Amino acid sequence: MISIDRLEGMIHVTARTSEGSEAERRAAFEQFTQSRLERAYRLAGLVLRDQSEAEDAVHDAAVQAWLHWKELRDQERMDAWFDRILVNGCRARMRRRSIHPLALSDPPEAPGHDAFTGVHERDVLHRALATLDADHRIAVVLRYVADLTPAEIAARTGEREGTVKSRLHYALRRLRAALDAADRTPGGLR
Amino acid sequence: MNDDRLEGDLRAALLQDDPGPMRDELRRRVAAVPDEMAPRRGLARLPRASGWAASLRAVAAVVLIAAIIGIALGIRGSNLGPASSAGPSATLTGPAATATGPAPSGSPAATPAPSATPVPTPITGEWRGLSWSAPAAFPNFEAIDDIVAWNGGYIAAAQVLGLAVQQPGFWNSSDGTTWTPLNVDTTAFPDSQINGLVPTTSGLLAWGWAGEPVCSGEGEGMTCEPRPVMLWTSPDGISWRQVADISRFNGATIDGITAGSQGLVAVGDTGWEQPAIWVSATGATWQRLTLPSATFKDAHFSDVRATASGYVLAGGIGNSAPTSGGVQLPDTGSAAVWWSLDGRTWTKGTVNRTDGVGTSLGSIYVGAKGMVAVGSASDAKGGDAAWTSTDGRTWQPIANAEAYAGVPTPAPGVPSVPSFTISDDGTHLLAVGMGDPVLGVSMWVSSDGVTWQQLPFSGATDTIPRWPGGTGLAIDTAYVVPGGLIVIGRGPFDTSKSVWRVTALP
């Protein structure tokens, strides 16, 4: 359910953008982007795993948002719209970097003490996460960090909801396989 | 580890990559964006896909978001699908589809169809380039299901937007750019979705399913029940009839249907470990084959294609039952193929394995001199696996499927193709790469899947949609048709799709 404050904010933004003066457009743009920068930067950072690239991705998304600011009439869709630009930019950057999956054949040696098992599992997962390609990593970040539903992710990635579910399923299965592989090694998880 | 704990640890693991606090520098950079852009405000915008798209920009956000959901096209879960499941031996003898329907729209209207440019005579010999037409508006579908060359023109099936239930629609075109909705009686398609169109000796066959998927569980454990299979036949693309003996498909999932010289072959299953093959002469009546266990032990099917000499069936042996509504990741099994001269008697072929613990063969693409099969592997790298074959009986692995990507491995220092897909018309194999820094899209052609030739573009190349940064979903679908391609795409801020007729040059 939308809050009154957010609704008022949206109305405010809508009124500003619909009037269309340069100053008002700038004000609306600034209000929109500055309130979302932290979130956008964090998402981009988790996808790209690089601070500078995350900053550049957010900046590029802001540039595109400004270039097409006047075209956007449905203010309620602005968050998804901005995420969409950001996600596309992150995907492009990942692919340009030609990220290659890391080998999973050599999981880190597990500590024997239970107190460290959780930490070790997260390390295994962290390594396994690095093996996901751009599309799968984006889906995982949007689902488990941004807490978006598969339908919401689909609206941001341009995929069908079923495709998003497939990506999440694949990613989870692969991460579980990594844990299982670590478990099978001498001195494994349990 | 249960799913909840896995997801909790997953969040924690993800946060290990947290980039740290945002620097104020970024806040300043973004705040300065309007000023940075001010001198460039008069420059050309991102390429417009069409005037129609531009005129609809006023409703951009609503339609854009709705349409975005339908971007991922392709009947096999990939962005780009082959022109049809029908191989080159499919005989196209159906009577003419009468193009008297209304103007392009999501719902039928009453405007006469505009005249269309005749389809150019397909060149003979090798393709050495592609000439792009100016884009035309494409009906605003939610999702295109299939486009096939048929009866001297083209016919498309798609889901109509804005309806409470699933409702397919049909459009035809004589030139690939001007599309006319066909006045189809939709009562034959109750809450149905078309998955593919197949030209047959007596017209067209459409196949798909009815209703929405019923799924249970979440995340890794999610499973979905198969939706009821639906088959329709039509002599003209306008009058459609449900196949009467659909009971032969009760509880079945169809993974592919193809038309060859010996008739139609459908493959799928009636549950895990219960592979099924159905055959039909025209699509009106079907027979389920009894599969010899020696040939099909632990078989799972994923695709079937007609070839010049018969049929090839792709799948795997072993592996675990899929979850997440049919998603299959091979684990302990291996890729497998079967071949047949008549569609009824099958022989297991040879798939030379790549490394890794599990492989599965997904889709087959057919060229004039060879075939490409793309599948998946659960080895240390995971992801794509690919094979080539000259006869469909013995398949050789591509050493590095991810780098292969249907195109030659780029030289050191040359940016690699960031994504790819393959489509075909039974003669030409087409690999599409997204993310060309200049054009947004790059394409290669092959007749055997081994040797690929990049095709230079000419014509209206400035209309090819590009996404910010030069990459992204530049095009949605490229269908290989006689003499070239039909390409569907949309720029990042266009509200409807555009279509290009891309003509192959000698």
Does position A107 have pLDDT exceeding 60, yes or no? no
Give the residue from A96, A128, A146 where a domain finishes: A96
Please say if the pLDDT value at position B450 is more than 70: yes
B445: phi then psi, degrees, rounded to nearest 5: -125, 150
Closest residue of A to B436, CA-based?
Answer: A96
- Is the pLDDT at B408 greater than 50? The verdict is no
pLDDT for residue B416 is more than 90: no
Say how far apart CA B396 and CA B373 lie, in whole Å. 10
In this predicted structure, the answer to whether residue B308 has a pLDDT above a threshold of 80 is yes
- pLDDT tops 60 at residue B57: no
Mean pLDDT lowest for which of A60-74, B78-92, B205-219?
B78-92
Chain B contact present for A99, CB below 8 A: no
- Place B434 in a pLDDT band, splitting at 50, 70 and 90: low
Quick check: is A60 in a domain? yes
Residue of chain A whose Cα is closest to the Cα of B219: A169
Q: Find the closest chain A residue to B329 by CA distance.
A: A170
CA distance B30 to A60: 9
Q: Write down the CATH number for the domain with range B46-96+127-505.
A: 2.130.10
Percent of chain B with pLDDT strictly greater than 70: 63
Q: What is the pLDDT of residues B61-92, one digit of tens each?
A: 222 223 322 322 232 223 333 333 333 332 22
| Closest chain A CA to residue B45 | A67
Under an 8 A CB cutoff, do A121 and B1 touch?
yes
Q: Do A96 and B471 touch (CB under 8 A)?
A: yes
Percent of chain B past pLDDT 90, that is, above it, reads 34
Closest CA–CA distance from residue A52 to any residue of chain B (Å): 9
In a domain, A24, yes or no: yes
Q: Do B65 and A74 touch (CB under 8 A)?
A: yes
Residue of A nearest to B16 (CA): A126
Mutation target to probe the B interface, by most B beta carbons within 10 A, among A37, A42, A122 is A122
What is residue A96's predicted lDDT score, i.e. its pLDDT? 60
Give the range among B315-319, B321-325, B372-376, B447-451 with minimum mean pLDDT. Answer: B321-325
B141 min Cα distance to partner chain A (Å): 14
Best B29, B30, B63, B141 residue to mutate vs chain A (most A CBs within 10 Å): B30
**Using a CB-CB distance cutoff of 8 angstroms, which residues of chain A are in contact with residue B420?**
none
d(CA B406, CA B450): 8
Q: Do A121 and B34 touch (CB under 8 A)?
A: no
User: Are B72 and B477 a contacting pair, CB within 8 Å?
Assistant: no
**A174-188, B119-133, B469-483: the lowest-pLDDT one:** A174-188
Task: Please check the confidence at residue B148 and state whether its pLDDT lies above 70.
Answer: yes
More confident of the two residues B324 and B236 = B236
SS (H, E, C) B256-314: EEEEECCEEEEEEECCCCCEEEEEECCCCCCEECCCCHHHHCCEEEEEEEECCCCEEEE
| Of B283 and B412, more confident | B283
Q: Is B207 helix (H, G, I), strand (E, B) or coil?
A: strand
Instruction: Please report the pLDDT score of residue B10 as a whole number.
Output: 79
CA–CA separation, B4 vs A176, rounded Å? Answer: 12
Instruction: In whole angstroms, give the CA distance from residue B259 to residue B88.
Output: 9
Mean pLDDT across the stretch B465-480? 64
Of B6, B26, B415, Cβ closest to residue A58: B26
The whole-number pLDDT of residue B239 equals 94
Domain that holds residue A24: 4-96
Q: Is pLDDT at A174 greater than 80 in this prediction?
A: no
- Do residue A180 and residue A124 come from a single domain? yes
Distance CA B386, CA A48 (A): 28
A179's tokens: 């844990």
From the candidates A34, A43, A53, A59, which should be mutated to test the interface with B, based on the most B CB atoms within 10 A?
A59
pLDDT at B432 over 60: yes
pLDDT at B303: 93
Instruction: Confirm whether A104 is domain-assigned.
Output: no
Please check whether residue B20 touches A, CB under 8 A.
yes
Determine contact: A139 vs chain B, CB below 8 A. no
Tokens of B235: 């002599």
Digit-coded pLDDT (tens) for A130-151: 777 778 888 888 988 888 888 7
Contact A181/B at CB under 8 A: no
Binning pLDDT at 50, 70 and 90, where does residue A61 land?
confident
pLDDT band with cut points at 50, 70 and 90 for residue A50? confident
Across the range B194-219, mean pLDDT stands at 83
pLDDT higher at B316 or A107? B316
- For the cut 70, the answer to whether the pLDDT of residue B422 exceeds it is yes
Q: Which CATH number characterizes residue A42's domain?
A: 1.10.1740
The CATH number of the domain where A163 resides is what? 1.10.10.10
Instruction: Looking at the complex, report in whole angstroms how far the Cα of residue B65 sits from the nearest Cα belonging to chain A.
Output: 6
What does the alpha-carbon distance between residue B11 and residue A125 come to, in Å, rounded to a whole number? 10
Residue A119 within a domain: yes
Contacts for B245 with CB less than 8 Å, ≥ 6 apart: B285, B286
What does A133-182 look like in DSSP terms, one character per residue?
Answer: -HHHHHHHHHHHTS---HHHHHHHHT--HHHHHHHHHHHHHHHHHHHHHH
Interchain CB distance below 8 Å, A101 and B25: no
Higher-pLDDT residue of B491, B271: B271
Contact B472 A160 (CB under 8 A): no
Which residues in chain A have their CB less than 8 angstroms from residue B29's CB?
A: 55, 59, 62
User: Which of B6, B17, B468 lies closest to A60 in CB terms?
Assistant: B468
Nearest to B380 among A25, A105, A141 (CB): A105
Residue B414 has pLDDT above 90, yes or no: no
Whether the CB of B414 is below 8 Å from some CB of chain A: the reply is: no
pLDDT of residue B307: 96
Better-scored residue on pLDDT, B164 or A61: A61
Residue at a domain's end among A96, A124, A142: A96
Query: What is the number of domains present in chain A?
Result: 2
Mean pLDDT across chain B:
73
Query: Are A87 and A121 found together in one domain?
Result: no
